[in-house]
Amino acid sequence: MDSHAPLYRDTDLVLSVESVTKSFDGFRAINDLNFYLGEGELRTIIGPNGAGKSTFMDLITGRTRPDEGTLTYHQDDGHDLDLTKMREYEVNRLGIARKFQTPSVYTQHTVYENFVLSLNRNRGVLKTLFYKETAADREEIEEVLELTRLADRRHELAGSLSHGQKQWLEIGMLLAQRPRILLVDEPAAGMSDEETERTAELLIGLRGKHSIMVIEHDMVFIRQIAKKVTVLHQGHVLKEGTFSDVANDPVVKEVYLGRSKHEDAA
């Protein structure tokens, strides 16, 4: 593992992505990508289907290796780690958690048990069920139960939750592990308007506590949570700025916002 002290850094970054390229069968899904994520930032990533958004998350989490370029994790002790040399579980262990698009929870267990399981992922399901959670665990679980608004559902089976509640449960399970970076891929997909709004509130509440990247298509949702927006197009950053910077950019409008489905956002 590559580790060296940074010479100089002008802002508190948690992640630097430089000149990254990734091809699949000759097709450049990610093309000379440069990206920087600040400590405690809530960043939204938009872009048309096939822009490379999910692949970008695959590259950060070690699921996919870049052909070229660097992905550097800046630890809070000032040391840098080369993510391209690490396996998926090693990246996760650093405190980089990822929420995939479809919810993945233990449907046959209660909401509370799901949180217990998430705190003990290395123990396995059986051991965890006989594990008595500590006072600190219980405190942590109460916190995420409140945050995800699942406190009054704690004894219900996760399988009985609505789609939105399952998504919050899984976000909560990741949060219980106190990640430094949280990557969330299209959380609002398939949600009702009310669920979407609650998801926005949940993520906004995490600002400053975790560094978060949210991929989303729903422009109403993006407008709600956006601080800095990155527009990805053909595997490259097309534009970065505030929601209105991005929404009013003629090139962005043309490649993305101009599409009929998103016209109201521009």
Which residues contact Mg ion (rule: CB under 5 A)?
53-54
- Give the whole-angstrom CA distance, residue 37 versus residue 42: 9
Residue type, 206: L
- Give the whole-angstrom CA distance, residue 207 versus residue 202: 9
Nearer to ligand ADP, 66 or 95 (CB): 66
Q: How far is the CB of 39 from ligand ADP (least distance, A)?
A: 25
Q: How far is the CB of 182 from ligand ADP (least distance, A)?
A: 17
Q: How many Cβ atoms from other residues are within 10 Å of residue 244's Cβ?
A: 12
Could you say which of 13, 14, 15, 29 contacts ligand ADP (CB under 6 A)? 29
Q: How far is the CB of 50 from ligand ADP (least distance, A)?
A: 4
Cβ atoms of 51 and 234 closer than 8 Å: yes
Nearer to ligand ADP, 109 or 233 (CB): 233
Helix or strand run (H / E) with residue 53: helix 53-60
β-pairing verdict for 228-233 and 42-46:
parallel
Can residue 24 be called a binding residue for ligand ADP (CB under 6 A)? yes
Tokens 């509640």 belong to residue? 165
Could you say which of 16, 44, 54, 128 contacts ligand ADP (CB under 6 A)? 54
Could you say which of 5, 8, 11, 49 contacts ligand ADP (CB under 6 A)? 49
Q: How far is the CB of 43 from ligand ADP (least distance, A)?
A: 15
Q: How far is the CB of 135 from ligand ADP (least distance, A)?
A: 41
Contact partner, 89, from ligand ADP, Mg ion, none, Cβ < 5-8 Å per class: none
Nearer to Mg ion, 158 or 215 (CB): 215
Secondary structure E strands in the chain: 3-4, 13-24, 27-38, 42-46, 68-74, 80-82, 96-99, 181-185, 211-215, 228-233, 236-241
Q: How far is the CB of 258 from ligand ADP (least distance, A)?
A: 17
Residue closest to 74 by CA, chosen among 173, 7, 133, 156: 7
Contact partner, 250, from Mg ion, ligand ADP, none, Cβ < 5-8 Å per class: none
Give the interface with ligand ADP as residue ranges (CB under 6 A): 24, 29, 47, 49-55
